[in-house]
Amino acid sequence: MRWAMDVEAESYANIRAEDVEKFVWKNIICRHGLPYEIVTDNGTQFTSATFETFCTSWNIRLSKSTPRYAQGNGQAEATNKTILAGIKKWLQDKKGIWADELDGVLWSHRTTPRRSTNQTPFTLSHGIEAMSPTEATIPGLRRTHLPNNA
């Protein structure tokens, strides 16, 4: 899911409509507010009456991309490709633990500037650059100029 090029993702062994509903509630609505539209592929978890009812109850338009034509949802497919490449690069020989590395790959994706905007998705979403873990241990200007109680 994207807004300002940001991504939310979780790993699932099997994806059911109830999982998607919970994901949208927790990771989209509660963090970012109600989306106007959700574009999905035609997976049964997205075409189920359960998920369609959920979207209708929140007045979210549910749009489906064209079957067997992944390019119809181009931005999502490009982002998926980037996330998968990041997971492969991070894991190399560590088979079976990709789900544990997903958050780190997402952090990297969110804090890497995009060519099209010269900004990170985090900055576009939050209006400020993310503070890196390094800044917590080696304070930069931003950290040293914060009030003591911040």
Look at residue 19 in the predicted model and tell me its pLDDT: 93
Cβ atoms of 109 and 83 closer than 8 Å? yes
The CB-side HSE value for 106 (13 A sphere, CA atoms) comes to 14
Helix/strand/coil for 61: strand
Say what the pLDDT of residue 91 is.
Answer: 66
Please give the pLDDT value at position 1: 40
Residue 63 pLDDT: 87
> pLDDT for 88-119, tens place per residue?
776 666 666 777 777 787 888 888 888 888 88
Entry pTM? 0.64
Q: Residue 2: what pLDDT?
A: 43
- The DSSP-derived string for 73-125 is GHHHHHHHHHHHHHHHHHHTT-TT-HHHHHHHHHHHHHTSPPTTTSS-HHHHH
Question: 17-141 has which CATH code?
Answer: 3.30.420.10
- Average pLDDT along the chain: 78
Low-confidence residues in the chain, pLDDT < 70: 1-6, 66-80, 83, 86-87, 90-96, 139, 143, 146-150
pLDDT of residue 20: 92
